[in-house]
Amino acid sequence: MFRTACSRLLASTAALFCGALAQPSVTVQTDQGPVVGRQAAANAFLGIPYAAPPVGPLRWQPPQAAPTWTAPRDASSPGADCPQVALNLFPVAGVTPGEVQGDENCLFLNVYTPKSATATSRLPVMVWLHGGSFTLGSGSAYDGSVLADNYGVVVVTLNYRLGALGFLSLPALNAESADNASGNYGLLDQQAALRWVQRNVAAFGGNPGNVTVFGESAGGMSVCAQLASPQAAGLFQKAIIQSGLCTSPGNAVTLAQAAARNVRYADKLACQAADLACLRKVKVDTLLNTKVPGLRPASNLVWSPVYEAGILPLTLQDAYAQGRFNQVPVLAGTNHDEGRLFISAVSPSGKPVSVIQYWGGTGLLAGVANLGRVLAQYPYRSYQSPGLAFTVVFTDAVFSCPAFRVSTALSNYVPVYAFEFNDPQAVTLLKAPSDLPGLGSFHSSSLVYAFQTSVPGLGSPELFSPAQANLSDHFSEAWATFAATGRPTVTSQPAWQPFDPARGNVQVFTPAGVQESTAFAADHKCDLWTRLNLN
């Protein structure tokens, strides 16, 4: 039950919380105990633990039951981020690239609700899985208050274990596991948070029977994984995949492959790979700063989900092709210029990409045997620079065409709504390299538009032109209405038709408006990438 004034708290706790909160307080009773959030544009309940701290003997264990309490718990500030090494890709004030941030006690979530929500509201629920290559990011970087306030939804954001702490596979870890599998601890965290939502979201005004899981980049890939995980059945009723890399080249790493690779990693930690007691005592800084030996750049995600065991019995490609996934409506899409963010993959120095670097980077993506065929379709002289040519190859091979294949496979079983975000001058705080005309709709640029709030290191709605503000309204409305009804709608726009592989229809969001296109596959040369079948 909601109690919306500090004066209604017990006298012993009122002084503790009321003086600390600038906004009026709001109290909700969870199955762990009461939490006291704050009320501004929306109600915000931050830093709620959804599982026990995964520390000591619980490192590399499935998430355990969360703590309980009896006195009201302050939920006015987020909990610690999961341990990660800061990068300079998205520079944030006060953060030094290369430093280790966060704490192993990090399994927290945040809940945003409309101010008018009550325990009987039964509002649609949106559970956000953040991106960051499975090594970076946090739930608290995304403010769900505008989505909650504008569209009458409950938004939940969460942390999950990252890097080696979230995705280490080893034979010794397999042996101690109930299902003889290891490595997907971050995904298990996400499922634990979704179970927390099932138990508790009604108290915040949400409907546990109308939950949408949504995510971008590694978060989008996490959504894809949860679709394919039998253990996630019933935890959500809809899914939104933004830039998910779900069947991108090199991402179908099996448990056997990951465990064999990671033995070499464990041996570099001054512990034997079979000595779990030793490994569980290794300092976090050492775990995060030790590199996995023998991996080529861009060959695959070093720390990411593993397949063909445990909670992911099939690769995503096989699960979707065989219809062996959680069959719920899906909204799925990418950004038009995803690859422009990754130009540093071929030119770490920041200098303009040379022709040789373009060829080399393309060879890593497509394989040496396919290099000639790909270069024939993407001659660098047809672009402003070799760097721009590489970003187009990267976009098509890693994002656009895999997403098209995912939509095609899923649409055989469930309604799929495909989209592309295309703002040629998307707002950003990042500076484009000199050999690009700009960053365009780069990877993650759509997030400021979707959440309609500032995203650290990316940008702010304050930078929107009127046309971009209109685009943001359309884009976020599509996500929110899909979460509410299972069908995305945009005010004053024709009805959005489900994806039909025969037509290849994709809804394109631009500052000039929203319209259906059937040219997406041709624009991104998906016939070529489908024939290469790189996964």
Active site amino acids: 217, 338, 443
DSSP string for 261-284: HHHHHHHTTTS-TT-HHHHTTS-H
Contact 213, 198 (CB under 8 A): no
Cβ burial 234-254 (10 Å sphere, 16+ → b, else e):
ebbbbbbbbbbbbbbbbbbbe
Contact 269, 282 (CB under 8 A): yes
Question: How far from 290 is each of 55, 253, 257, 267, 283, CA to CA, in Å?
Answer: 19, 20, 19, 10, 11
Contact 167, 218 (CB under 8 A): no
Q: 3-state class of 488 per DSSP?
A: coil
Contact 109, 51 (CB under 8 A): no
Size of the chain, expressed as the number of residues it contains: 535
Q: 3-state class of 1 per DSSP?
A: coil
What letter would DSSP give residue 398?
Answer: I
Dihedral (Cα; 236, 240, 241, 243), 10-degree rounding: -150
Helices assigned H by DSSP within 415-487: 447-451, 466-485
Q: 3-state class of 146 per DSSP?
A: helix
Dihedral (Cα; 230, 235, 241, 245), 10-degree rounding: -30
Contact 494, 513 (CB under 8 A): no
Residue 419's DSSP bridge partners are: 333, 507
Contact 367, 404 (CB under 8 A): no
Which token pair is 193? Answer: 């948070």
- Return the CA Rg of the chain: 23
What letter would DSSP give residue 317?
Answer: H
Contact 229, 191 (CB under 8 A): yes
Which token pair is 16? Answer: 């503790």
CA distance 446 to 442: 8
The amino acid present at 390, given as its one-letter code, is F
Closest to 51 in 3D by CA, of 97, 109, 100 = 109
CA distance 521 to 505: 9
